[in-house]
Structure 1
Amino acid sequence: MHKALLLIVIPLLSYGFWLSEEFKGIAAGVSIFLFGMLSLEQGFKAFTGGVLERILQKTTNTTWKSFGFGFLSASLMQSSSLVSIITISFLSAGLLDLVTGIGIVFGSNLGTTTGAWLIAGLGLKINIAAYAMPMLVFGVLCVFQNGKQIKGIGYILTGLGFLLLGIHYMKESFEHFESTINLAGYAMPGVQGLLIYTLLGIIATIIMQSSHATMLLTITAVSVHQITYDNALALTIGANVGTTVTAIIAALGANIQGKRLAGSHLLINLSTGIFALIFIKQFGIAVDIISANLGIASSDHAMKLAIFHSLFNLAGIILFFPFINQQVNLLEKIFIEKRPAIFKPIYLDPSAMDFPETVVESVRLESIHLYENAIHIILHTFGLHQRDLQQNDSLKQLIDQNAQPIEYDIDASYEKRIKGIYSAIIAFISQAGFTWEMTQSSRLSWLREANKHLVEAIKDTKHLQKNWVRARSSTNQIRIDEYNKIAYQIVLHIQKIETFRHEIEGNELPLLSLDTLKASIKNDDMQMNRAIETLIRERKISPETGSSLINDSAYMRSIKKNLLKAAETLFLHGNIGYADVEHQLSLNETEINDVVHTMDTQ
């Protein structure tokens, strides 16, 4: 698509350059303006190393708060596209839900209209080039500094400078453009003009990938009477619809939630645009009334255009904002989520790569996906299912009663359920940038280690499986019972981890549960080894069986430790606040040994 547009635009631009010197100035102004937008986005991305993401998470817990975040962020960044990309990225990573994302879209639609007010109110009335030069000078100085934040400020200043400079060039060129071509001669009144200029606004915005640039062209052109006011209104509506294309492109690499948000953005803006077209006369009357009350001259079409831009977006919010939940239901029916194969990654979306918090959360959620698959394999090794964990009082009975040989192919399950996801997680972490704050890098390191622990737990289960299967066909009931105890302890440990996981989700402080599990692993191992030694001494089992039990007891301990270490990272370190408290309050190895010694002597 981009290449096709390029092939069309280049000949048209070349013809325009040959036709008019003023056209060169207009094209240069648009180019400088767009470059300023890119610099501005680059600058704000420098502040997405955790700060912006945490603000987003804390200020979007209600629909109205998400609306406020969308409005403020789009107003400050002057880029609804960047806000849309960030929102799609967070939505794909599971940090936001669809209702919140749609609230942000509504807010950013209104926030982006502030750009029209700045252009019409200041850009066309003062010599903004005088303000652009200092911004460019100080901005470039900051860009060449080493600090990430200083460099980000430099990009923001440079971006603002180029925005102002682009507006200046376009204003100056449009003022002299009439001597070459009078675009007002191509004005189209009535419904035909309304529809054609709306389409032109959509096309211009798709080509420039910026509704701000289309609005700049429209406002500067109408200010020097190069286009009629009525046609300018239609261009404004078209720009509002065309800006959704950026979100749609960003959603192509996102998951189903990201695609739903892009669909919502298109639905909202398209519905608002249609509503504005139908009631264009009524909007015109409302703009005249508001302008008169604000003291804006009836001939100041640039300011009236800015009022119209805000007014019809506000009307769209009033009409469609109360029906967000209905929109979600509709989008879920349109964009049906295909149930992914369990061995395929679910959360590792390329759209998360640009933002540290979304990278970390995507990896954490995918690691939990891997954890659930690992639990599936371990439980099936002992003839159980995840639903059996709900049987609190009968887990041991389920294991004892299942006397049939269990031939479960761990290698095949590993290839199917673990290998692809594990490899994808490692590759995703490796591709992610590490020029962020140490917080994100450390959390990714923890997550990489958590996945290694899960893989080690499965490998230990495979080693244990050989003797456990052999023991179940033994004629020695004591041997069978001891191996069933090993299986029971592992399954019981998984059940306790699941309880620990739900304590986290319930916002309860789970440190006591965590330390209890750590201590019980060592204590259970000691008790198991003593029991085996007693059985050997009483000649209830052979020394060979005893040595196998001791080795397999070590595998049991390793499985439990690896699962707990993984769970500690996935379910505790996923919450930054818990992680800090956990480091301060959780028991160290010496303290755990003291607890085990106390338990043993009681």
Structure 2
Amino acid sequence: MISWELVFTIIPGIILFLYGIEQFSKEVQLYAGEYFRGFIQRLTSTPVRGTLVGTLVTSVIQSSMATTVITVGLVNRGIISFVASLGIIFGANLGTTLTSQLIALNLTSFAPFFILAGFVISIAGGKYKVIGRPVFYFGLVFFSLSLISGVMTPYQNDPQLTGFVTAMDNIFIQILFGMIITIIFQSSSVTTGLVVVMAQNGLITPSMAIPVLMGANLGTPSTTLFVAYKMNTSAKRAAIAHFLFNFLGVLMFLPFLGPFTSIIESLGGNPGQQVANAHLIFNLICCVVFLLAIKPFEKLVIRLVPGREDDIVFQTRYLKRPLPEKTEDSFKALELETVHLFEQSEKLLFEIEPLLEDPKKYSSIVNQLKEYANYLDDEISDASLELSDRNLEPNEVAYLAGLDRISKLGEILAFQTWELVEIIHQIQEKNILLAPKSKEAIINSLVPCKMNLRSLVESFPVIPESVNESMRERDNILRDIITLQYRQYLKRFISRKSSAGSAFSRALFQLEGMSATIREIRKSTKILDENRSGR
């Protein structure tokens, strides 16, 4: 009979391994801070560079799940695009192979040293104190595997254990086993670590271990798919890409599993090293193949996950660092980016009418547009501050200050527009039915707002007098519409025919505020033009 010692050592060993991986990952991310995220964003301009980033990050934090979940989160937040995420996803699988290689190289025997070193560094203090805990947990990961390996050694020839392993004589059962273990423990590193240790102890052969490793790859995307369920379209695509990459990689290898195993065995080394080498080569080949086919793969994912194509990536469109050497070119970039900022309010306005007709039309992009407008304003302000350090003429300084003020007004306008969308969304969420007249009033009030905003986008930074006059006329029209709607609303409210309560008046108030901000931008642009002519 298999003793309880085996059960009660393997299970705590796995728990200790999971704890070590989780804590090590957290400590590294905490130590890296925002640089960790900025590092990913800066180095994903090409798929190859993205793959290198994914490999490096996963090698450091020892968790492909953590890397892919973070990546999907970054896509959802608009920090990187879906296309940029593909390279990181490819590299994440490659990065996990470091764990199996280190185990195969008997790093487990050095685990107590890392635990002791991490503990000493932590209590010693000083500037290196912050790396003490990551070193400690790194040692704990491999120490847990050494515990499992030690208790497994006496059972190499145990008939019951041998019988259990022998029962997994079907490739698909082996793949399924690897997938289930990975899903249960939410870590492919657990599966690969155990498989390498079992191979080192002669409990399984490389030909049995390799399909289990492939199953581990299939189990890895489970967390990513779950996390991305309520995220935007791009994040969902990144999660599906992760699953397809692993699934298609396994399908690609299945017909050649026999020859592949023979090649691995011919490379030599003990069984543990052979399994680790198979894990590395399998993921490396998958990375190369999918990098070569990244365009058709991208199209496949987009076709499988239809949705909005306007998900936002938090990058400036015209402002590039470093700023152009010619001050005139820098001013031009600032002007164009300010127009880009106005366009975010315009996009928010176009979210309102569909939402009035159907509550399900509310999109997560609404919050992204508001945050993106804030981001653009920050970037414009930073660029203005940087530009102010140059040797500028007084009229250029005044023009720069005017641009910065208009940028702030553009950010305020985006916030006001977002609040209007949220007011309407809250009405819908509370199952309050807007009267047809109320809906019509909001839609009619939006028309002059949209037209004035469109005039700003098309004309800025110089608004011709004819356009200026048209905008003033539309201001007056909107003022008359809102005054009339307030009166009609009060009549409906007093006669208890208004089900929307104060929400409708809040919507009208918000429209009034948006109109006032657009008017202020128009007036500020007039002053801006005066300073521009003196440049």
Superposition TM-score, scaled by structure 1 size: 0.59
Instruction: Note if contact 2:165-2:203 (Cα within 8 Å) is conserved in structure 1.
Output: no
- Residues 143-292 of structure 1: matches in 2 within 5 Å? 152-178=130-156, 182-188=160-166, 193-289=170-266, 291=267
Task: Give 1:426's aligned residue.
Answer: none
Instruction: Note if contact 2:115-2:136 (Cα within 8 Å) is conserved in structure 1.
Output: no
Confirm or deny that 1:395 pairs with 2:467. Answer: yes
Instruction: Note if contact 2:47-2:291 (Cα within 8 Å) is conserved in structure 1.
Output: no
Indicate the SS of the match to 2:105.
helix
Gaps of 5+ in 2: 311-347, 356-361, 379-409, 421-444, 490-499
RMSD (CA atoms): 4.3
- Displacement, 1:138? 2.9
Confirm or deny that 1:310 pairs with 2:273. Answer: no
Instruction: Note if contact 2:182-2:188 (Cα within 8 Å) is conserved in structure 1.
Output: yes
Task: Give 2:89's aligned residue.
Answer: 105
Evaluate the alpha carbon distance shift between residue 366 and residue 211 of structure 1 in structure 2; reply closer, same or farther with a 3 A threshold: farther
Instruction: Note if contact 1:379-1:491 (Cα within 8 Å) is conserved in structure 2.
Output: no
Indicate the SS of the match to 1:47.
helix
Counterpart CA distance in 1 for 2:223 and 2:298 is 21
Moved more, 279-288 or 114-123: 279-288
Evaluate the alpha carbon distance shift between residue 150 and residue 256 of structure 1 in structure 2; reply closer, same or farther with a 3 A threshold: farther
Evaluate the alpha carbon distance shift between residue 329 and residue 176 of structure 1 in structure 2; reply closer, same or farther with a 3 A threshold: same
- Displacement, 1:141? 3.0
Letter in 1 for 2:286: G
Letter in 2 for 1:35: Y
Counterpart CA distance in 2 for 1:158 and 1:362 is 43
Counterpart CA distance in 1 for 2:373 and 2:450 is 32
Task: Give 2:385's aligned residue.
Answer: none
Instruction: Note if contact 2:373-2:411 (Cα within 8 Å) is conserved in structure 1.
Output: no
Task: Give 1:584's aligned residue.
Answer: none
Instruction: Note if contact 1:99-1:324 (Cα within 8 Å) is conserved in structure 2.
Output: no
Letter in 2 for 1:346: S
Confirm or deny that 1:134 pairs with 2:116. Answer: yes
Letter in 1 for 2:82: L
- Displacement, 1:50? 2.0
Evaluate the alpha carbon distance shift between residue 161 and residue 276 of structure 1 in structure 2; reply closer, same or farther with a 3 A threshold: same
Deviation readout 1:383-430 (Å, 9 max, x if unpaired)? 8353333255441353477699444449899968998xxxxxxxxxxx
Confirm or deny that 1:123 pairs with 2:107. Answer: yes
Moved more, 260-269 or 39-48: 39-48
Deviation readout 1:29-79 (Å, 9 max, x if unpaired)? 211111100111110221343211222222112222111111111112211
Evaluate the alpha carbon distance shift between residue 383 and residue 62 of structure 1 in structure 2; reply closer, same or farther with a 3 A threshold: closer
- Residues 329-408 of structure 1: matches in 2 within 5 Å? 329-337=299-307, 341-342=351-352, 346=364, 364=375, 371-372=413-414, 374=416, 380=447, 384-389=451-456, 390=458, 393=464, 394-399=466-471, 405-406=477-478, 407-408=480-481
Deviation readout 1:362-386 (Å, 9 max, x if unpaired)? 9748998984474698985568353
Instruction: Note if contact 1:380-1:408 (Cα within 8 Å) is conserved in structure 2.
Output: no
Task: Give 2:295's aligned residue.
Answer: 325
Task: Give 1:590's aligned residue.
Answer: none
Counterpart CA distance in 1 for 2:505 and 2:249 is 46
1:30 corresponds, among 11, 14, 32, to 14
Deviation readout 1:533-582 (Å, 9 max, x if unpaired)? xxxxxxxxxxxxxxxxxxxxxxxxxxxxxxxxxxxxxxxxxxxxxxxxxx
Evaluate the alpha carbon distance shift between residue 187 and residue 416 of structure 1 in structure 2; reply closer, same or farther with a 3 A threshold: farther
Superposition TM-score, scaled by structure 2 size: 0.65
Evaluate the alpha carbon distance shift between residue 375 and residue 362 of structure 1 in structure 2; reply closer, same or farther with a 3 A threshold: closer
Instruction: Note if contact 2:182-2:190 (Cα within 8 Å) is conserved in structure 1.
Output: yes
1:82 corresponds, among 66, 71, 74, to 66
- Displacement, 1:83? 1.2
Confirm or deny that 1:492 pairs with 2:522. Answer: yes
Instruction: Note if contact 1:94-1:362 (Cα within 8 Å) is conserved in structure 2.
Output: no
Evaluate the alpha carbon distance shift between residue 243 and residue 418 of structure 1 in structure 2; reply closer, same or farther with a 3 A threshold: farther
Task: Give 2:337's aligned residue.
Answer: none
Deviation readout 1:200-255 (Å, 9 max, x if unpaired)? 00000000111111011111111112123221111111111111112223323432
Indicate the SS of the match to 1:283.
helix
Counterpart CA distance in 1 for 2:299 and 2:366 is 25
Deviation readout 1:486-530 (Å, 9 max, x if unpaired)? x99646358x5xxxxxxxxxxxxxxxxxxxx8xx27x99xxxxxx
Evaluate the alpha carbon distance shift between residue 460 and residue 74 of structure 1 in structure 2; reply closer, same or farther with a 3 A threshold: closer
Instruction: Note if contact 2:448-2:477 (Cα within 8 Å) is conserved in structure 1.
Output: no
Evaluate the alpha carbon distance shift between residue 408 and residue 337 of structure 1 in structure 2; reply closer, same or farther with a 3 A threshold: farther
- Residues 397-546 of structure 1: matches in 2 within 5 Å? 397-399=469-471, 405-406=477-478, 407-409=480-482, 490=520, 492=522, 520=527
Counterpart CA distance in 1 for 2:263 and 2:469 is 76
Letter in 2 for 1:141: I
Letter in 1 for 2:213: T
- Displacement, 1:347? 5.2
Indicate the SS of the match to 1:336.
coil
Counterpart CA distance in 2 for 1:212 and 1:36 is 11
Counterpart CA distance in 2 for 1:179 and 1:140 is 43
Evaluate the alpha carbon distance shift between residue 288 and residue 176 of structure 1 in structure 2; reply closer, same or farther with a 3 A threshold: closer
Whichever of the two has the greater Rg, that structure is: 1
% identical equivalent positions:
21
- Residues 44-55 of structure 1: matches in 2 within 5 Å? 44-55=28-39
Evaluate the alpha carbon distance shift between residue 188 and residue 346 of structure 1 in structure 2; reply closer, same or farther with a 3 A threshold: same
Instruction: Note if contact 1:345-1:366 (Cα within 8 Å) is conserved in structure 2.
Output: no
Counterpart CA distance in 1 for 2:182 and 2:195 is 11
Gaps of 5+ in 1: 1-15, 353-358, 420-454, 465-486, 497-516, 525-594
